[in-house]
Structure formats: structure tokens, C-alpha cells
A and B are shown apart, each in its own frame.
Chain A
Amino acid sequence: MSGIELKAVSIRLANESIVHNVDLSIPSGAFLAVVGPNGSGKTTLLRAIYRAVKLSAGAIFIRDRDVSRIPMAAAARQRAVVPQFQDADVALTAADIVGTGRHTHTPWWAVQRPTEQDAVLDALQMAGAKELAGRMFGTLSGGERQRVLLARALAQKAETLLLDEPTNHLDARAQLELMELLSNLTLTRVAVLHDLDQALAYADLIAVMHAGQVVATGPPAEVLTNELTSKVFGVRSSIMKHPLTGRPHLLTAPLPDAAADVVPAAVRTY
């Protein structure tokens, strides 16, 4: 059974074509990284999977069910989301925010039950943020907020997890911890990532987007060729074995002609 299936998906926003004709199939339990330059349609595609934007054509299936044809409550059990941005101007604690992830699990009269609070704390623990439970969301650092949002998604106990640039705002160690955590989950995962090296190191599959289309899919080490990164991202690249971990590691460098362009004129005359 396929975890997530996108069939000929096109999306228009304000009369502008953002995504066209994307076909994508993610096996159940796999970790897919979506990469691509800014403005290539990655976030829009992800938002379409969780129904925050409407499709103008095509269909999206999670475990063979059309996401646009099921009630919102059922959708929340299909997929949980770690969004790219969360307005921090809310006077709620981390635990309150994680509690909203339980929306479809407990009826309104049971929200104060101890089992509910346990579910919230378990999710915070899984995301490594248990000690943040009583803190106000607005007072947390970027990295702490990210872990709280991950906890909210985990509290939802959905079949699939969608993440939009989850390592944004995180320091070097927190990034690695988060990626390790993600790679150890058994859910179907889709993460929009900017760091090609992280995509290579942790994802099972990669989808490369360019100008609203998926231009390549497959195992990261096969997809991320020098030819592809030159064409799509405008950088040269090479995959090497990481001297410390033994994992594949992607190194990037400016294209030769682009390199000449970015050298300041004053330096060149010197």
C-alpha cells in the first residue's frame, strides 16, 4: 500500500500556477525529502497534502483515501503537520499548544482528564521537550518552539507526518537531533528540506522540485548528481564518505562561471 500518492496535482494561487502536474508516490513508512530552490512550490505542495490549499487539478491520496473527500477529523488522523511558521503571539503554554493536536482524539468534555495530559506529556517527551510543558510558547527559543510543534504533531498520532523546513532556526546539534529523531520514526514522513546534505544523509527518498514540477525522484544518492544540482540549484556538488560517520555526505561549490561573477571587481583587478 502506498503511504501518500499524488496524481497529476496542479495548484493555482491567485491565478498564478504554483505547482503543475506533479505525480509522486511515497511508500508506506518511507521518509521522503522534498528539495528545490526557493519558490519552486515545495511548501505549497506540502500544504495541499494537508488541505490548507485547494488543488486546481489532480488528486492526493493518503493510504488510498482521497484527502479532499474525507471529514477534517479523519484527515487529522491521516496526517500531522509541523508547519514552517507559527505566530508566537499567543498566550498559550507549550502543553496547551500540544493539546490542540489531540483535537480529534478526545471529545470536548474529556479535555481535562489525566489521560489527556499524559498523552500531551508523552508527545513532548518524544520530541525532547518535556521540560517545556508549562512554559509560555512566546518565551521559547526558535528551536524550542520547533520541538513543541513537533510534539503537537506527534500527539496527533497520525499515519503520516508532514514537516516544512523542520530544521529552520535550530542550532547545529538540535538539527542533527531532530533529523535522527525523524529518521527513527516508522511513520510515513514528508519533509521539505533546504539542506541537501541532510536530505542525503537521512531521507529514504528524495523529490527535487523546480519551477512547480518534480524533476527527479529516487534514492538521494542516485538523484543528487552534480548534473542535477548544477541545473536545478546552480551549484556544483560531489558526494563523499563522511570521515566521522561513514555516511554519504554532499559537498557543494559555486559553478565555475558563477564563481567568477561573485568575485568583487576590486579583488579581480588586484
Chain B
Amino acid sequence: MPLAIWLTAIGIALVLASILGVCVGSVPIPLGDVGQVVFSRLGLGESAPALNGTIIWDYRIPRVIAAALVGAGLTVSGIALQGLVRNPLADPYVIGVSSGASFGAVLVMVFGSGALLGLGVSTGAFVGAALILVLVFLVAQRRGAFSDSRLVLAGVALGYLASAGTSFVQLQAKPGQISGILFWTLGSVAGARWNSLPVPAVVIIVCVLLMLTRARALNALSLGDDAAVAVGVNIRQERLILLLLAALCTAVTVSLAGGVGFVGLIVPHATRLLVGADHRRLLPAGIILGALFLVVVDLAARTIGSPIEFPLTIFTAVVGVPFFLFLMAREKRA
């Protein structure tokens, strides 16, 4: 099927899911009221009821946007890393980002931001992710070049080290802090507010768009180093660019929403089953499918046990696996 049709179809689904995400919640709000709130906040209509306004504008819209950004960012980073290290089991966390971020975030949560230079949880997470990334790059590189296997090995090893630190710090936590920590490490966009969105949004969008431009290079890299050199890909430079973009994008998604699991591993494969492995199709489709997936998962996470919220990772697998198994079965028949 032509790419344009796929993109349109999942694009419409994304719009519908987002609208649903804004209307549905512990307080259901009719679509008409949502429109009223949005127009009044944009200065285009008369003022809306204050409570609805707060729920929709200050809570639901930012979290839907955050879910879409995180889903798209993790999916595209996953596609890039899987192509880069030529390993279908790779995901954005294989380079140690999420472990480092968790360590940073948990340190802030347990010892308080006062003890750590006044860092907030998300900044702590970003600093942790960045530190682990620098270490992984230093260990993995040889004369400025990255081989796929060294990168994965360094990422996994240092990731374990950071996880050890996280577990150790967790044991120092007071009982009341544990559920907050668990919530964070399993990922959530419940905390998304307008003022926390702009910086992550810009970074994620820029990284994703830049990764889009590397689609054909990723195709060539997926054929092997020799083939890539043969057609004129500067593999050293291309690897470095993709790696930095994927790492930065992932670090920012983790600082925004915690350790949302499964998305960066399975949504890339699901997209591949839908539109094929050509990165020129895979990357654009992955942006929309990843965003759609996490918007739906977030909706499930806050409505199924309403008014209790669940972390996202509990539902990424529950929502994702049946869909993924369906795609695998479909491919087998084809």
C-alpha cells in the first residue's frame, strides 16, 4: 500500500485518539465543552467554565502532547538504533540511557533536591542519562569510531551499574517514597504541564526530524559496512550523528516521562511489519504510530482503574502485545 495512505490512516487515528484523550478521564467532558475551552484559551471565543478549563487546558492537553512526543521520540530512536547496531533486540535503552536517568531521578527523589544542587526530578534524570551516555561513548569508541557490538556491550554493562545504584538508593528510601519511585521508573505523563513541555518538545521534534533525513543512509548501513562504504556513506560520521540524535532524544523523553518501556523496542517492529523495512517509509510511519500508541496507552492507564492512575509500562505491553501478535500472524499468512 502506498505510504501516503498509511500515513493518512494512522494520522487520522492519532487525531481521534488525541481528542478522545482530552475528553475521557476521571471527569468525562463532552467534546463541545472541550472545543469551548480550547477556543477561549486561544482567545477565539467566550470564556468557559473554570473547572473544565483547568482540567482540559492545564492537565489533559499537555499530557496528551507529552504522550505523543514521548511515543514518537522513543519509536524513532528505536528504529535508528536497531538499524545502527543491526540488532532487532536493540531499543533506545540499550545504550544505558534509561538506567542512568532512573539513577539520577531516584537520587533526587530519595535525598531531596536540596541535597543535589537544587535539581528537580526531570533534570536529575537528564543529568543521569547524559553522564551514562558520555561514559558509554568513551568506553565504546575506538579512535573515534563506534562498532555496533562494543556500543551494545558498553551500554548494557554500564546500564547494570546504574541499575545497581538505583536499587541501592531505593533501599534507603522511606516507605512513602517507594510508590513514587516505582511510578517514575515505569513511566508516566501524568505530571506533564505546559511549562515543562517546550524544551523537551523542541529537542524531541528537532532530533526526530534530523533522524528522518538519514533514512537512506540507514538503509545503506543496514546492508553492512562494506555496502555502505561502497555507495558513499561516511559510516563513521553517519553512525555518530545518528547515535547522538537517538541518545539525546531518548534522554529527553526519559526526563519528561520516566522509563516508559517496550515502546522503543516493539513499535519499531510493528511499524516494520506494517510498512516494510525501508527507512524512508519506516521513519515517518514510526513517528505517527509511536505517538498514536502512547496516547492510547496513556488513555488506558488513567481510565481502566479510574480514578487511580497506573504507570505507562504496565499498559504498553498489555495494549501492545496483542496488536503485535496480530501483525506477526498477519505476516506469517502473507
Contacts and interface: CB of A to CB of B under 8 A. Distances in A.
B213 A77 contact: no
Contact of B224 (A73, A76, A87): A87
Interface string A87-125: 100111100110111111000110110000000000000
Contacts of A104: 231-232
Nearest to B229: A52
B229 A72 contact: yes
Contacts of B276: 91-93
Contacts of B232: 72-73, 75-77, 103-104, 156
Looking at chain B's contact residues, the main secondary structure is helix
Taking residues whose C-beta sits less than 8 angstroms from the other chain, chain B's interface range is 20 to 34
A156 B220 CA distance: 13
B213 A108 contact: yes
B225 A52 contact: yes
A108 B216 contact: yes
Interface string B189-219: 0000000000000000000000011111101
Contacts of B219: 92, 96, 99-100
Taking residues whose C-beta sits less than 8 angstroms from the other chain, chain A's interface range is 20 to 34
A106 B258 CA distance: 39
A90 B226 contact: no
Contact of B223 (A50, A77, A87): A87
B224 to A, nearest CB: 6
B277 interface: yes
What 5 pairs across the A-B complex have the smallest Cβ distances? A76-B232, A91-B277, A81-B230, A72-B234, A100-B220
30 contacts: A52-B225, A52-B226, A52-B230, A73-B232, A77-B232, A80-B230, A80-B231, A83-B226, A83-B227, A83-B230, A86-B227, A87-B223, A87-B224, A90-B277, A91-B277, A92-B276, A92-B278, A93-B278, A96-B219, A99-B219, A100-B227, A100-B231, A101-B231, A103-B220, A103-B231, A104-B232, A108-B215, A112-B280, A152-B231, A156-B232
Interface of A: 47, 50-52, 71-73, 75-77, 80-81, 83, 86-87, 90-93, 96-97, 99-104, 108-109, 111-112, 152-153, 156
Interface of B: 3, 212-217, 219-220, 222-234, 272, 276-278, 280
